[in-house]
Structure 1
Amino acid sequence: MKQLLLVLCLLALPALAADMEPRPGWAVHPTAKTFDTLVADTISAVKANGLVVVTQAGPTKAAAARGITIPGNRVIGVFNNDFAVRVLEQSVPAMIEAPIRMYVTENDDGTATLSYKKPSLVFAPYSGGNGELPGIAEELDIKFDAIAEMAFK
């Protein structure tokens, strides 16, 4: 039984290395950069565009510590207090989405991709034509696009 489980797990590993695909409401930016370089450049671009890296998480290093090799994978939570206060003024439930995440993944060929759900998509369920939330989300769309452009150059 253990051998069967091991074989099934090994067969599933190639699925972990799949490159990010475009999807509705997402921005997907493949680059020629390595994973580590794109992570560092994304963090720098976040700061340069007036936002803050609030969180970072990824399974790559923890998996390596367990003897498992997986492609680079990092989720970077991005926001700032100005946007937090403005979003809260419009919708308390919308703050469950903050920080908004950017996702850096290592591709099969050793390059990396920066992906994220557009903030306008993330906050759409909370706006209901209500107040300024759609405008705030559009401001964040512009900032996230600027971060991506700076990070992948």
Structure 2
Amino acid sequence: MTTASGHGFDTLVSRLEASIGQHKMGLVAQASASRGAASRRVVIPGNAVLMVFRNDYAVRMLAASVAAGIEAPLRLYVTELPDGTTQVHYVAPSVVFAPYGSDALDAMARELDPVFAQIVADAVAP
């Protein structure tokens, strides 16, 4: 899924961080090639991966499928466009976990789908 935002890169990343917390999820880690490049005085369009999950979901996920552990944390990818606006890209949890063929995992993922959709919707709102 890709959602456009009129916010600048740093603003959208900050809004996503806040929205993640507001929706009771955890920001597990963050990586940004553009920030890394900037530390070397190289300028590239903004991009960041925000890794999001929560321990109670992790426990449920692993009880349903140890192999699915590679999918956590789930990711939100922010990219900056040439006009200075941004986009958020993510794969819906139900799509991420579908290949594992577990009813319990599918149920958990269906719970997470609206959480991730709302995190993004709140962050990109004007």
Q: TM-score, normalised by structure 1?
A: 0.79
2:107 paired with 1:135: yes
Q: Pick the aligned partner of 2:2 from 19, 25, 28.
A: 28
* 2:47 corresponds to 1:65: no
Alpha-carbon offset, residue 135 of structure 1: 1.1
Structure label with greater radius of gyration = 1
With a CA cutoff of 8 Å and minimum separation of 6, indicate the structure with the bigger relative contact order.
2
Q: Which amino acid aligns with 1:144?
A: F
**Amino acid paired to 1:135:** A
| Counterpart residue type for residue 32 of structure 1 | G
CA distance, structure 2, for counterparts of residue 131 and residue 122 of structure 1: 14
Deviations 1:49-99 (A, max 9, x none): 110000100111221222321000000000001100111110011011100
Aligned-residue CA RMSD in angstroms?
0.9
| 1:100-139 superposed matches below 5 A | 100-126=74-100, 128=101, 130-139=102-111
TM-score (norm 2): 0.95
Q: Which amino acid in 1 is paired with 2:48? A: R
Rounded Cα–Cα distance in structure 1 between residues aligned with 2:11 and 2:52: 18
Gaps of 5+ in 1: 1-26
Q: Which moved more, 1:60-69 or 1:46-55?
A: 60-69
1:78 aligns with 2:52: yes
Specify the alignment match of 1:47 in structure 2: 21
Q: Unaligned stretches of 5+ in structure 2? A: none
Instruction: Show structure 1 runs of 4+ deviating over 3 A.
Output: none
